[in-house]
Amino acid sequence: MNFFRRALFFTLLLCLCVAPASPQTPAPSASVDFQKLALEATDWLSGLVRINTTNPPGNELAGARYLADILQKEGIASEIIETAPGRGALVARLNAGAFPDPSRALLLLGHMDVVGVDASKWTVDPFSATVKDGALWGRGTLDDKGPLIANLAAFIFLKRSGLRLSRDVIFLADGDEEQGGDAGIRALAEKHWDKIASAYCINEGGRTFLKDGKPFYVGIQAGEKVSINYRVTATGTSGHASVPLKSNAVVHLAAAIEKLGNWDPPVKPTVLTKRYFEGMAQIEDPELAKWMRVLDTPERQDHAARILSAANPVWSAMMRNTVSPTILQAGIRANVIPSEAHAILNVRLLPGELPGEFADAMLKVVADPQVTIEIDRLNSRPSPPSDIDTDLMRSISKASHTLFPGAPVLPLMSTGFTDSAELRVRNVICYGLLPFPLTEEDNARIHADNERLPIAAIRPGVEFVYRAVEDFVRAQ
């Protein structure tokens, strides 16, 4: 055992010893040594974090080969599918019978690619998998290599246990999720559907939220907003900067962006969001809970939404379409007034909203004939929400109540997009988990500097996924 692994071993043991023990349930879950499995999962995650899969370019094939080696040592065959040069996915399967049965199969999905980093803003090397301050540091520890490894641990232990399965279980580690999935889930669904065809899926997108040191609620993603980039163009008269012009395209663009950036589109809570707030009203501060309960009341909805939006920007984004200006482009010289100025808006539309109609709504807000708005890129596919009255949801809820007693299980419509959208349009029931108990501060590090996963969260996260999967796939 080298120095790193010795340090990791003792750090994990210390965290596991001080973490509360999980309640015991009947065999076979009770026979699982979850501390040992968590230690293995931490080791696997450390190795995967050290593989730089920043997207672009992705480099997911290196990650796929790493995972294939782990599975091979467990006697599990896998296949690496190359979707583009250097890009790809790994798929493996545990069969319940002699022939695959996609109509019942469960897919365990996670993505290997990660967003970019500014290493100068990090306290440690973002691809070193450093153990520091009781956490495993590195890009992807939360999004999405950590959850991917929790899926892997569950998949491997199903094989080790010899559990008789009632349905096929497929493990899929894909890529390109952070850039829309053209070289990831979309390519796999279009060209290799036979290898991943399934009826159910566990993917990323949820929350296991800690508050005051205790699990507060467990959010299960069952739907998501649609991500679209819009291009805003302002046109005007070019000229010498020494003679200011009222038609200056930069000025008109700035005014348009100011209006759109401060605009609150109308409140339109979906069925999932209403269910979420109904559950939150049972556990939240009484003053906030009061407004959560009347969110579905037409005459009080707008006022309730204003109070909830001020309390939490995520709640605001869950209730309405949103606009975030992200890129500005203008000018060629400091002394030249340009004839055009451009901006990119990242818009997240509620399910069922029409992109063209929303462009028209934004133009009405801008109210400037020098400004046009058009769709630049559809980043994710519109998809229907998943039914939450299923055996898989009941298995997830059962596992959650065992590990996190007192924390309600709430359906979520996530404000971000995931690979689940591509599966939901193919009638796959998808639920998103983030199985590790995390604080709001922990969650805020997703896509941010110094992303890290508390070591103490790994054991309950691995156990959560395994218990949910085992309950769902175990033959009666």
Whether pLDDT at 1 is above 50: no
Query: Using 50, 70 and 90 to split pLDDT, how confident is the model at 476?
Result: confident
C-alpha–C-alpha distance, residues 344 and 212, integer Å = 39
Over residues 185-203, mean pLDDT: 98
Question: What are 110-122's pLDDT values in tens digits?
Answer: 999 999 999 999 9
Q: Which two tokens stand for residue 350?
A: 């509620």
Average pLDDT score, the chain: 94
Pair 14, 435: CB distance under 8 Å: no
Residue 198: pLDDT band with limits 50, 70, 90: very high
What residues does 83 pair with on adjacent strands? none
Question: Is the pLDDT at 432 greater than 50, yes or no?
Answer: yes
The pLDDT > 70 percentage for the chain reads: 94
pTM of the predicted protein model: 0.91
pLDDT in tens, 273-309: 999 999 999 999 999 999 999 999 999 999 999 999 9
266 Cβ contact partners less than 8 Å away, ≥ 6 residues apart? 320
- Per-residue confidence (pLDDT) for residue 28, from 0 to 100: 57
Rounded Cα distance between 320 and 318, Å, is 6
With 60 as the cut, is the pLDDT of residue 443 above it? yes
Q: What is the DSSP string of 399-431?
A: HHHHHSTTPPEEEEEESS--THHHHHTTT-EEE
Q: Of the given ranges (6-10, 202-206, 221-225, 405-409), which has the lowest mean pLDDT?
A: 6-10
Mean pLDDT of 26-35: 72
pLDDT category, 31, cuts 50, 70, 90? confident
| CA–CA dist 17, 20 (Å, integer) | 8
Calculate mean pLDDT across residues 8-33: 52
Terminal Cα distance for the chain, rounded: 41
Compute the average pLDDT of residues 252-263: 98
Rounded to an integer, the average pLDDT of 410-434 is 97
Percent of the chain exceeding pLDDT 90 equals: 93
Task: Report pLDDT for 4.
Answer: 46
pLDDT for position 81: 98
Q: Kindly tell me if the per-residue pLDDT of 169 is higher than 80.
A: yes
Q: What pLDDT sits at residue 359?
A: 98
Whether the predicted pLDDT of 58 surpasses 50: yes
Residue count of the chain, please give it: 476
Q: What is the pLDDT of residue 12?
A: 52
Instruction: Flag whether pLDDT at 47 surpasses 50.
Output: yes
Overall average pLDDT of the 463-470 stretch: 98
Domains of the chain: 3-205+418-473 (3.40.630.10), 225-378 (3.30.70.360)
Cα→Cα distances 136→110, 119, 261, 293, 453, Å: 19, 16, 36, 39, 5
Mean pLDDT of 241-246: 97
CA distance 424 to 237: 48
Pairing between β-strand 169-174 and β-strand 106-111 as defined by DSSP bridges: parallel
In the predicted structure, residue 395 carries a pLDDT above the cut 60? yes
